[in-house]
Structure 1
Amino acid sequence: MRGLSLTARLGLLFAACTAAVSLIAGLLFSRASEAHFVELDQQLLEIRMTAFRALVSDVNAPAALAPRMDALQAELRLHPDLTLRLEGRDGRYWFNSADGLRAPGRDGLHDWQQDGIDYRVYSASLRPDDPDSPRLSLALDITHHQHFLERMQRLIWLTVGLSALATALLGAWAARSGLRPLHRMAEVAAGVSATSLTARLADDEVPPELVELVRAFNAMLARLDDTFQRLSAFSADIAHELRTPLSNLLTQTQVILSQDRPADEYRETLHSNLEELQRLAQMVSDMLFLAKAEHGLLATDRKTLDLGGELDALLDYFSPLADESQVTMHRRGTGQLNADREMLRRALSNLLDNALRFTPQGGRIELELASGPNGLRLTVANSGEGIPPELLPRLFDRFFRADPARKREGREHAGLGLAITRSIVRAHGGEIRCESAKGWTRFILEFPTP
């Protein structure tokens, strides 16, 4: 069976089931027909037995049959398939319409075959209440019954064979038609490539049993398409982000090597190149971090942390930058979280650094902790110009930068901070979202209760 296709297997299964059902039905019909013939023959023999008993009821010796012989012969001529036999208690035949028939004379109905002819024999005492009564036997030729049953059995076998063949062909056709969506799915899967990930199967054209499979297949193609698009965009972003610093390094190196220069100029160029290389190293490190996060490879060393104390430590670290920009920072609320301290500090540092970059002079940064039945909620809010609603869904994309007009003059970033923050939050089972309205931008982090 392993070498057979699913269509062939289903066709053979349908054929076997049909053959079995047809055979059982044929056998039951054959048995019922045979029993029906037996019942009809018994009724006929009992009726004829009553008639013959009436003719010879008072016969006590063979000589007493002579006056009734004409009546017996006339009755037998009406039923040419019947044979009558009358025998005494000593076993001698008083009358036998077929001299060659030697069927046993036991009481009741029984079958007998002689010279290739089938008989159904019915024997009984001529006078049941007389122990010395002779015995009367009737034999019915049932050859035509047997021929009918034999023809019916041959017809049953022919029907079983033809129905099995027809069912096998129809079953194979039905299975092939029913499996056509799977063949279509195989064709689509075989043709999947980087340029054909948008192909989809119509789930309204398949049987209900395959709808979930088609939807799962389409969902898989959608995930592949989304992943490929993000990978392509990521590759393009990487190339774009790396091209500028590499071009700067190449240009500065070519210029400085174009002619002999004082040692100070070489030293200054090396320092400049070092800054670019450090920026490239940080970018590569961030991208590796994101790659690990996407594949679930971030290893977290979780401990119960006092988030109030962690936020206070970060506010102290960023206070010189805030003072320089005349930005006030406040923290409210307390809470505890089972988290990796280093990873959590990195995520919160990214949010505070982002808030400081987009908060105008004299603005405010508010940090609020709130614990509830559904978990811990941390809000990092900064005043200033809001973010357009159409940009909010893209804030956590890699290398995405919001409108440069919103940013104060200062540090240039690669646009990986918020993506890293979201990866860290999700690694801890939480979610992060951004809301921007009425002069405030809020990053809301929600962690479930452990």
Structure 2
Amino acid sequence: MRRLSLGSRLALLFAACTATVSLVAGVVFNRASEAHFIELDQQLLESKLINVRQTLLSGSDAAHITEELSQQGDVSLRISGPEGQRWFGRSLQMPANLPQSPGLATINDNGTDYRLLNAPLQPEQPDSAQLTLLLDITHHQHFLQRMQHLIWLTVGLSALATALLGAWAARSGLRPLRRMSAVARGISAQSLNARLPEAQMPAELTELAHSFNAMLGRLDDSFQRLSAFSADIAHELRTPLSNLLTHTQVTLTRPRPLEDYREALHSNLEELQWMAQLVNDMLYLAKADHGLLMPKREPLKLAEEADALLEFFAPLAEDAQVSLSRDGQGLFEGDRAMLRRALSNLLDNALRFTPPAGDVRVQIAEQAKSLRVTVENSGEGISSELLPRLFDRFYRADPARQEGSSEHAGLGLAITQSIIRAHGGQIHCESAQGWTRFVIELPQND
């Protein structure tokens, strides 16, 4: 079965609520009217009872009693003896088998409703005659029946009117959702810049519209990054492939000595090794994007790991006349190979951009709930506009980058960020006052 729309559900809900309220109000009014008529009838019968008692106790005859009752044409009287024998009756249609219990009662005889009041003529005497007053209340019942019909008619019309008005109100109120649906239907790779007008949204939908726009912004940014990533892959692979083709074609143009072929193969091998490394790095990042990087957990002394890396880079730093140092220490449970790769990328990056006589420092500090590792280098800073893009794939802040460089493809910082995130940490870059520092925040193990 087809599901009801939200507007139809709201309309039916409004109609049900209105019908329920109208029905309850009608029933309450009907019960109140019925109780009011019972009270009026009781007052009337009790007043007639007093008059009949006074008339009978004063010694008046039956003719006087009949005249007294004739002033109230719908009231009948029966006088019975102590044993129930009938002494007097003033009624052309007095029902048979009337109740004998004292007090007020309601009876029905042949479709006619009566209000009956039984009372002794002389309450202080146990063998007193019994008086029975009977009041025809058919006109009251007709009024109550008309009232009930009116209640049901009002309930039905109210429910119908509320359903129609509720449908209109729901349709009008849900217009922003239809607008949101229209925007969602129109979204494609070429129209990710569409946004919902948050200022025109109701208060209840403002947060939803804001979240929807934020989602579109993230999708747009991810798509732009993916497009740039695809273009960068083609850009990075184009030059080495072109070099391989050109070099191979030139080598094959004529017969050459064996040494020339060996040199050509060696040159091609370098290009192929760089391409293989590039593909491996891209596969590594793809695994990181899908949460497939599962670091091992082993206790590590970060000071010892940093010292080992500094010792590895010492010859390169000595050639570049750059000073290396490490300060602080800390314990962390993580994957040694992955963390060494991350720190190695940062140190390699720092050495490349540190001028002669500059410094590269590694600082380790244990904090309350985290471990802070900083790799900083002196030299020309990075503008604040470029800092958010440093961890983008294939991005190189150096404007003098060489196309198809087989040395640096611009994936090191992206891989470093993936490794840190796989360990539950965060990394960011700061650059000010002649120092550029990469700050790693790792969660401290309990």
**What is the TM-score when the length of structure 1 is the normalising length?**
0.90
> Which residue in 1 is equivalent to 2:33?
33
When residues 367 and 118 of structure 1 are mapped into structure 2, their CA distance, relative to the original with a 3 A threshold, is closer
Q: Report 1:178-189 matches (<5 A).
A: 178-189=173-184
Equivalent of 1:84 in 77, 88, 91: 77
Q: Tell me whether 1:236 sits opposite 2:236 in the alignment.
A: no
* CA apart distance, 1:342: 1.0
Q: Report 1:330-369 matches (<5 A).
A: 330-369=325-364
* CA apart distance, 1:347: 1.2
* CA apart distance, 1:206: 3.9
Distance in 1, Cα, partners of 2:66 & 2:244: 134
What's the secondary structure of 2:256's corresponding residue? coil
Distance in 1, Cα, partners of 2:200 & 2:406: 56
Checking the alignment, whether the CA contact within 8 Å between 1:365 and 1:383 is kept in structure 2 is: yes
Checking the alignment, whether the CA contact within 8 Å between 1:358 and 1:406 is kept in structure 2 is: no
2:130 is matched by which residue type in structure 1?
A: R
1:314 is matched by which residue type in structure 2?
A: L
> Which residue in 1 is equivalent to 2:132?
137
Distance in 1, Cα, partners of 2:21 & 2:397: 74
> Which residue in 2 is equivalent to 1:315?
310
Q: Note the residue ranges of structure 1 that are not aligned, 5 or more in a row.
A: none
1:49 is matched by which residue type in structure 2?
A: L
Checking the alignment, whether the CA contact within 8 Å between 1:101 and 1:114 is kept in structure 2 is: no
> Which residue in 2 is equivalent to 1:3?
3
> Which residue in 2 is equivalent to 1:395?
390
Distance in 1, Cα, partners of 2:93 & 2:281: 113
For the aligned residue pairs, the C-alpha RMSD in angstroms reads 2.5
* CA apart distance, 1:210: 3.7
Checking the alignment, whether the CA contact within 8 Å between 1:339 and 1:428 is kept in structure 2 is: yes
Report which stretch shifted further, 355-364 or 298-307.
Answer: 355-364
When residues 311 and 115 of structure 1 are mapped into structure 2, their CA distance, relative to the original with a 3 A threshold, is closer
> Which residue in 1 is equivalent to 2:105?
110
Distance in 1, Cα, partners of 2:53 & 2:104: 17
> Which residue in 2 is equivalent to 1:124?
119
Checking the alignment, whether the CA contact within 8 Å between 2:271 and 2:406 is kept in structure 1 is: no
Distance in 2, Cα, partners of 1:52 & 1:12: 59
**What is the TM-score when the length of structure 2 is the normalising length?**
0.90
> Which residue in 2 is equivalent to 1:154?
149
1:81 is matched by which residue type in structure 2?
A: D
The share of aligned pairs that are identical, in percent, is 63
What's the secondary structure of 1:326's corresponding residue? coil
Q: Tell me whether 1:414 sits opposite 2:409 in the alignment.
A: yes
* CA apart distance, 1:406: 10
When residues 74 and 348 of structure 1 are mapped into structure 2, their CA distance, relative to the original with a 3 A threshold, is same
User: Number of matched residues?
Assistant: 441
Checking the alignment, whether the CA contact within 8 Å between 1:85 and 1:95 is kept in structure 2 is: yes
* CA apart distance, 1:341: 1.1
User: Deviation digits for residues 218-248 of structure 1, max 9, x if unmatched?
Assistant: 3322222121111011111111111111122
When residues 401 and 77 of structure 1 are mapped into structure 2, their CA distance, relative to the original with a 3 A threshold, is same
2:6 is matched by which residue type in structure 1?
A: L
> Which residue in 2 is equivalent to 1:45?
45
* CA apart distance, 1:204: 4.2
When residues 289 and 87 of structure 1 are mapped into structure 2, their CA distance, relative to the original with a 3 A threshold, is same
When residues 391 and 108 of structure 1 are mapped into structure 2, their CA distance, relative to the original with a 3 A threshold, is closer
What's the secondary structure of 1:150's corresponding residue? helix
Distance in 2, Cα, partners of 1:328 & 1:110: 113
Q: Tell me whether 1:218 sits opposite 2:210 in the alignment.
A: no
> Which residue in 2 is equivalent to 1:164?
159
The runs of at least 4 aligned residues of structure 1 exceeding 6 Å deviation read none
Report which stretch shifted further, 264-273 or 415-424.
Answer: 264-273
User: Deviation digits for residues 162-220 of structure 1, max 9, x if unmatched?
Assistant: 12222222233333333333333332222221012222223444444444433333332
Distance in 2, Cα, partners of 1:142 & 1:414: 102
What's the secondary structure of 1:51's corresponding residue? helix
Distance in 1, Cα, partners of 2:6 & 2:54: 72
What's the secondary structure of 2:386's corresponding residue? helix
Distance in 1, Cα, partners of 2:52 & 2:392: 109
